[in-house]
Each structure stands twice: as C-alpha cells, then as structure tokens.
Structure 1
Amino acid sequence: MVVHSISRYLLIILSLFLFSLVIIECKSIKFSTSLSPKSLDLKIEKLTHLHFYLQAIIGGDHPSEVKVAGPNTSFIAFGTLEVEDDNLTVSPDVNSMTIGRAQGILASADQNELAYLNVLIFEFTKGVYANSTLSLLGRNQIDVPNREIPIVGGSGVFRLSRGFAITSRIRFIPNSSVVLVFGCYVLHY
C-alpha cells in the first residue's frame, strides 16, 4: 500500500515535470521577428500609375485563353474555368511593344451575372519594372464598362504592393480576340 502511494506521487510529480517542460518548450518556440522596413532596404512608399493593354487571343490555333473545365454550353457559363497567358502591350495594337504577360485563372463564379473570380499575375519583362510582378485577386464583372480589381501584392519593384486596377474592354472580336485596357494604381516601396 505504501509502495503504491509512493509510485502514484512519483507519477504525479513526473507528469507535472513533463508538463512544465512542454510549457517551457512552447514558450521558447519563436518563428517571427519584428523588423524595420529599412532592414529590407524599403524606402518611402510611393504611388505609381501604370497604363497598358491586355491582348487575349480566344480563337484560332494558338489561343492565349483556354477553357479547361465547365459546362459545354458557353465560354462564360457558370462553373467555367479558364487559364490565360496573354501579352501586355503599350497600345491597343496587337503588334505594339510587348511589356509583359498576364497569367492567371478566370472562374465564372456568379449564377446571376457575367462575373469572374479573377486570379491574375502581371509579369513585366521590359523597362524599370522588368522582373517584377503585380498580383490581382477579385471579382471581374465583364458586362460593366469600368471594373475595379484589387491589387493584393507583387514582387521585385512592386514588393509589398497594394492598390487597384481599373479595366475595360476596348475591342471584342467573337471567336478571335479581346483587348482590355488596364490602369493600375499601385502603392509600393
């Protein structure tokens, strides 16, 4: 009986000791550190306006937007999923200078209106923004003339960016091409 009581006390003491080690270990785990923006060479935040054109080829032998899933009824039916890899140009002319690519996913996500969930990366390849990206994520209601899509991040020159893009359709040729104009307002360092 005495041995049983001693072993129970030892078990309780051992349990408390192990529990205290777990608490100490949990408190000692550190996976974040507060930093000054200067430590990443971040200077004064600025606002930049970008203006360019997206050239989408939706027909022919080499389309830049492809339907990958969804109902067979139409390209814009609810549930349609498209992948895009379009040229970004300096003017609405498809042969004007290419300054980058627009790569992303469009999902027809509204049962009542022509609206996409737009996940889009602008990858810039020329000029001061070469090797930089902007990330857009938001609703794109395609039957509205001027649509606003949030800019939620970026890389390179646009590291830690945020802002919005206003887009509208310039030209639409069924089963051939679409040209969109983008005005991007970007806060970045």
Structure 2
Amino acid sequence: MVRGILLAWIVVLSIAAASVHCEYYSTSTPYEPVRQKKTHLRFFLHDTLSGEKPTAVIVARANSTPKRNDPTPFGTTFAIDDPLTEGPELTSKVIGNAQGLYLSSSQDKNLTLVMYVDLGFTTGKFKGSSLSVFSRNPVTEANRELAVVGGRGKFRMARGFIKVKTSYLNTTNGDAVLEYKVTVVHP
C-alpha cells in the first residue's frame, strides 16, 4: 500500500516537473496603432417602390391589415437594389448601388425604418469597395443620421455616420431620393 502511494507520488512529481514545449502562442510585439484616414462622400440614393421596375420590393409583410394608402406599413420588409448617383436626378452618373433590407419598424405616424444595407461603389476611386450600414432611420425627421458599422475593400474596418436628407418623397407611392453625406474613418 505504501509502495503504491509512493509510486503514485513519483509519477505525479515526474509529470509536474517535465518541461512542456508548445507552439500555441508566439512572442508578443508592441502595439502600433494604424494610421486612420477620414473620408467624406456625397451621393444620392434612389429608392423606387412604384412602376414597372421598382428598386425596392416587399419580401415579407405582417399578418395584419395595412392602413389605406400606406406604402410602408408596420412590419413590412423590403429587399432593395437602389442606384447611387452623383446628383439627385436619376439620369446622373451612377456610382454604385445600395443592396440589402429595410424594415418598417414604427407603429405610429412617424415612419421609421431599420436598415441593413451595403453601399457598394462600382466606379471611381472606391470601385470594388463598400460601406456597411446597420441603423435606425427615422424618415420623418429632418436631420437624421445612419451608422456605418464596417466595410470592405478600401473601407475595410470603417466606422462613421451618414447624414441623410430627403431630396424628394412621394408620400402616395413611397418613391424617394435621399442625399447621403458620409463621414467614415478607416485604415
């Protein structure tokens, strides 16, 4: 019995004293912050719910009766592929598109959307790059702001905000032209 206990202690001490070599970690290097750039952009988003070729279509709707003449009733989800242009006219140069979803999230008279949108650029200095927007958009407010939570390409790890101003709104069919003034910080 004593011999068994003595043998067990020898095994335990041998295991504890054995050196362990592991490649799981590496030596640390000092943190050097990446220099950040600030970029300002200005463009227009054209959101069209009407006509033969809408850029926003309903993909889900709440199981309730919508109010009459309400193009965006509470609980309605839209898929979008909206053009981004240099100017407010649809004939302006197209610089990219906004693709994603928005949800009508307000039950009162003040239309509010929650947006999950990728603003992709197809021309110019930022061609192939995009900004990721995940934000609440209180449409009826004159001064509103959307959060930029990321991006890709030249906007990888971007963060910032978009000041949104309604340039045109048709309250009957929901068609809108929005001016986006973007400020982002990125590596």
TM > 0.5: yes
Q: Hey, what's the Cα distance between the residues in 2 that align with 1:109 and 1:34?
A: 47
Measured on the aligned residues, the alpha-carbon RMSD in Å equals: 3.4
Hey, what does 1:148 align to over in structure 2?
145
Kept in 2: contact 1:60–1:176 (CA 8 A): no
What do the CA deviations read for 1:103-153 (whole angstroms, capped 9, x no partner)?
Answer: 111111232342111111100011110000000111101101121011000
| 1:50-129 alignment, distance < 5 Å | 50-71=41-62, 72-73=65-66, 74-112=70-108, 113-129=110-126
For structure 2, list consecutive stretches of 5 or more residues without a partner in the other structure: none
1:130 and 2:127 aligned: yes
Kept in 2: contact 1:139–1:149 (CA 8 A): yes
For structure 1, list consecutive stretches of 5 or more residues without a partner in the other structure: none
- For residues 162 and 28 of structure 1, do their structure 2 counterparts lie closer, same or farther at Cα, with a shift above 3 Å needed? same
Q: Hey, what's the Cα distance between the residues in 1 that align with 2:152 and 2:131?
A: 7
Secondary structure class of the residue paired with 2:54: coil
1:175 and 2:166 aligned: no
Q: Hey, what's the Cα distance between the residues in 1 that align with 2:97 and 2:37?
A: 24
- For residues 187 and 110 of structure 1, do their structure 2 counterparts lie closer, same or farther at Cα, with a shift above 3 Å needed? same
- Give the length in aligned residue pairs: 176
94-103 vs 105-114, which moves further: 105-114
Identical counterparts, % of pairs: 32
Secondary structure class of the residue paired with 1:145: coil
In the TM superposition, what is the alpha-carbon distance from 1:75 to its structure 2 partner? 3.0
- For residues 66 and 29 of structure 1, do their structure 2 counterparts lie closer, same or farther at Cα, with a shift above 3 Å needed? farther
| 2:139 partner amino acid | I
Kept in 1: contact 2:72–2:174 (CA 8 A): no
- For residues 176 and 70 of structure 1, do their structure 2 counterparts lie closer, same or farther at Cα, with a shift above 3 Å needed? closer
In the TM superposition, what is the alpha-carbon distance from 1:80 to its structure 2 partner? 0.9
- For residues 79 and 90 of structure 1, do their structure 2 counterparts lie closer, same or farther at Cα, with a shift above 3 Å needed? same
60-69 vs 105-114, which moves further: 105-114
Q: Hey, what's the Cα distance between the residues in 1 that align with 2:29 and 2:79?
A: 38
In the TM superposition, what is the alpha-carbon distance from 1:180 to its structure 2 partner? 0.3
Hey, what does 2:183 align to over in structure 1?
185
| 1:11-26 alignment, distance < 5 Å | none
Kept in 2: contact 1:67–1:75 (CA 8 A): no
